[in-house]
Amino acid sequence: MATHCDHAHDGAGMSAGEVGRALTSAERRCAAQGERMTAPRRRVLELLLEAGEAVKAYDLMARYGVDGSAAKPPTVYRALDFLEKAGLAHRIASISAYVACSVGDRDHAAAFLICDCCGATQEVTPPEGEALHRAADAAGYAIERTTIEGHGLCPACQVVA
């Protein structure tokens, strides 16, 4: 996501080693679920992990090819759909962007703090997430995904505001 403000921010993306370990872990999780981590799914997850922030699908398409070639929209959207269902990525609806899951090893309710100045996102565990699942269970519902979004200013943007 593009920076909207004119002050400096620290990069949040993973190092090459961290990305490699996260991809290996994701492949193991997929195999345990009886799913395959195909090359397009792996590439899209790799791009999300490298970015370390919310990324729009069209930006993923543009960055997809290692030779600078763009991916076709169905390739990226199918990969994102799979990654989201597998619990490896989250869609942040209010900004129409995707982010790699920072938990990655278990199903969970996700909550995001989103900076309205620079676009930084941070995944946090919502305290009410488990209560929502218990209430859904009591009502006979089976929740597939929960995402809570909170908008405001990150610490860096608060300093200059």
Question: Which residues are 100's β-sheet partners?
Answer: 89
pLDDT tops 50 at residue 150: yes
Sort strands 121-124 and 97-100 into parallel, antiparallel or unpaired.
unpaired
> Would you state the pLDDT for residue 24?
94
Summarised one tens digit per residue, pLDDT across range 50-107 is: 988 899 999 999 999 878 788 999 999 999 999 999 989 999 999 999 999 887 666 6
DSSP 111: E
Distance from the Cα of residue 22 to its chain's centroid: 13
Summarised one tens digit per residue, pLDDT across range 31-65 is: 998 999 999 999 999 999 998 889 999 999 999 98
pLDDT tens profile 107-147: 677 889 999 888 888 888 887 777 888 899 999 998 877 88
Per-residue pLDDT averaged across 6-19, rounded? 74
Pairwise CA distance, residues 106 & 74, whole Å? 27
Place of tokens 């403000």: 5
What's the pLDDT at 1?
44
